[in-house]
Amino acid sequence: MTELLSIILAAGEGTRMRSARPKVLHEVGGLAIVGHVVNAAVSAGSTRVAVVTGPGHEAVRETIGTFAPEVSFFEQLERKGTGHAASMARPAFANAEGYVAVIYGDHPLLRPENFRGVLDRLDAGWDAAILGFEPPDTLTYGRLITDGERLLAIREHKDATPEERLIGLCNACILTFRAEVFRALIDKLDADNAAGEYYLTDLVELANDAGYNVSYAVAPEVDVMGVNDRAQLARAEAQFQELRRDDFLKAGVTLKDPSSVYFSYDTEIGRDVTIFPNVVFGPGVKIADGVEVRAFCDIEDVKIGEGATIGPFARIRGGAELGKDVHLGNFVEVKKSKLGDGVKAGHLSYLGDAEIGARTNIGAGTITSNYDGVNKSKTIIGEDVFIGSHTSLVAPVTVGDRAYTASGSTINRNVEPEAMAIGRSRQENKPGYAPKLKARAQAIKNAKSGK
């Protein structure tokens, strides 16, 4: 396999985003924009990936490092254009073999197939190949000046003549070169242009002048959508969601109202899953076959077993694991808990930092009191347990197999298997006392109103 070094340019501040965060850290489908670009480059067969960041962009490096620790980073201290930014990765390309690809880091919908379009041109013998696209409105994009399969130049909009601005083929976001060609040309760039910057795109003319053969490939516009402001970010998110919904529909997932369901970049869903309207999947969700997710659920970082039913109005998060045939009803929240097969929690419960055995029933209004203001503690509930409604389980606490807790109990000591636990005050009835209480309340009300 030919070696491929991918250099991702992610040094821009993105001032049009009006944000304290670097532009490439804004998310599409739950993943930073630059994360999508890194993943596409890796999936396209990159043997090495280098990312060029701006000064003070430690957050960019930290974010990428969480899912791609093999990436190397370089810093562009002065903003002198894309050509200057690419040259900052010199230690990476100085001894590179095979191919070098330079990619703009603000294109979240980029796919491995887009890389393949230009890399195939290099495989066919061309010395360089640039990715283009044909937008309905060319706006301020650089134009590709071609002659048949040959690419003669890329003219930035600021420097293009009126005739060149009529060209409909525009520069996209991937420039590829044979490694030795890239090394031979990168230091020949100059800043003799309207912006006074070192344009990476000038490498095309330099390559032609040096006798190299340059070609191009064309990508669908949607794949190379760039993000420079909040409006473009919203459009990229909308397009991402449309693509994901279509993928899941084709894979055998039923979406009752596709436009109201939102997925993350890594959502995994099995076959014969039904998803009702207004469901949001955050990162880290894996759903097995035959699951039903009812309306208005918020689900993140969870594994859901086969045949489970969730919601409506359920929230699951924090690395939770739900076994087969688990049922969670309305207004149930599960956080960092493991629920065994067949566990049922039908109504109004919070289950945090818990481990619950198979077939256990959780009554309405149950909570695991897992936080003491400083530390989180664990609640362990065995198999075939019946937790009565409105039970508070004060962690750390264990309830044994086949035990019962009485409704309205506060359980702060361990319960033995098959025991019945009652943790509530004894009821006392006072005959004839209710009218006295009502009269007292009425007197207080009259006093307040001045009667």
Give yes or no for a cis peptide into 396 (omega within 30° of 0): yes
Nearest 10 degrees: Cα torsion 195, 199, 201, 204: 110
DSSP β-bridge partners for residue 411: 393
Pick the catalytic residue: 26, 84, 347, 390?
A: 347
In this chain, the answer to whether the domains covering 4-224 and 230-421 adopt an identical fold is no
The answer to whether the pTM exceeds 0.85 is: yes
Other Cβ atoms less than 10 A from the Cβ of 356: the count is 28
- In the prediction, which pLDDT does 448 show? 87
Which sign, positive or negative, has the C-alpha torsion 101, 37, 287, 400?
Answer: positive
Q: What are the residue boundaries of the structural domains of the chain, listed by start?
A: 4-224, 230-421
User: What CATH fold (topology level) applies to the domain 230-421?
Assistant: UDP N-Acetylglucosamine Acyltransferase; domain 1 (2.160.10)
- In the prediction, which pLDDT does 449 show? 84
Contact 268, 247 (CB under 8 A): no
- In the prediction, which pLDDT does 12 show? 86
Q: For residue 302, give the nearest of 318, 290, 326, 315 by alpha carbon.
A: 318
Give, for all 451 residues of the chain, the pLDDT tens digit: 799 999 999 998 878 999 989 999 999 999 999 999 999 999 999 999 999 999 989 999 999 999 999 999 999 999 899 999 999 999 999 999 999 999 999 999 999 999 999 999 999 999 999 999 999 998 889 999 999 999 999 998 888 999 999 999 999 999 999 999 999 999 999 998 888 999 999 999 999 999 999 999 999 999 999 999 999 999 999 999 999 999 999 999 999 999 999 999 999 999 999 999 999 999 999 999 999 999 999 999 999 999 999 999 999 999 999 999 999 999 999 999 999 999 999 999 999 999 999 999 999 999 999 998 899 999 999 999 999 999 999 999 999 999 999 999 999 999 999 999 999 988 899 999 999 999 999 999 999 887 6
Q: Does domain 4-224 have CATH number 3.40.30.10?
A: no
- In the prediction, which pLDDT does 281 show? 98
- In the prediction, which pLDDT does 139 show? 86
DSSP β-bridge partners for residue 39: none
- In the prediction, which pLDDT does 14 show? 79
- In the prediction, which pLDDT does 426 show? 86
- In the prediction, which pLDDT does 126 show? 98
Q: Given the structure tokens 């473009």, which residue do they identify?
A: 232
Q: Indicate if 390 belongs to the active site.
A: no
Whole-angstrom CA distances from 58 to 27, 233, 375 are 17, 22, 30
Contact 202, 189 (CB under 8 A): yes
